[in-house]
Amino acid sequence: DGRATAVLPLMAPTGPNAVKVSFAGSSDLLPSSASSAFTIVKQPTQLAISPQPAQGQYSDVVEVSATLTDGLNRALREKTVFLVAGNASPSMTLPSITNYNGQTVPEPISLPAGVYPLTAYFMGVIPVGNGATVELDDRLYELSLRNGTLTIVAENATVTYTGAVAG
């Protein structure tokens, strides 16, 4: 019927491209060719924060991780994700590289008691502390961020004195 189909992996950078096909012809068919324009766009991404909401006691280390996936919910490995706890002083910015499951290694967060915004960033404008930011871009994937909450509470501890009382 004169149709041909091919599956091509898109390895070119984002932007406009063209595909061209040709048939050299045969003893009973004439040669022919065709071309068509198409655009490669960045793939969307998604972030998740775990646990959420995150909470712990101020004397303990609270571990939080993030998971990065693409638009088809496939894990993205070896990508840098930033976890930012707080939005002023005190705050912490923790960069981490995703593993084969798209997960960052749980990062220890140690802040005074309080309720903090917790944000995971993949690319974009990222606060890195003291009012400074860094802007990052990926040639294949769109930026994404996920907001959450981190609650640090006072230590749940008691002291029992068993010594003698002087006096």
Q: What DSSP letter does each residue of 66-124 carry, written as one string?
A: EEEEETTS-B--S-EEEEEE-SSSS-EEEEEE--TTSBPPPEEE---SEEEEEEEEESE
Say whether 134 sits in a helix, a strand or coil. Answer: strand
Question: Residues 116-137: pLDDT tens digits?
Answer: 999 999 999 999 888 889 999 9
Give the residue from 46, 23, 43 showing the smallest Cα distance to 33: 23
Question: Residues 3-14: pLDDT tens digits?
Answer: 778 887 777 788
Question: Residues 30-76: pLDDT tens digits?
Answer: 999 999 998 989 999 999 999 999 888 877 878 899 999 999 999 99
Rounded to whole angstroms, the Cα distance separating 56 from 49 reads: 15
Find the mean pLDDT for residues 7-36. Answer: 86
Say whether 56 sits in a helix, a strand or coil. Answer: strand
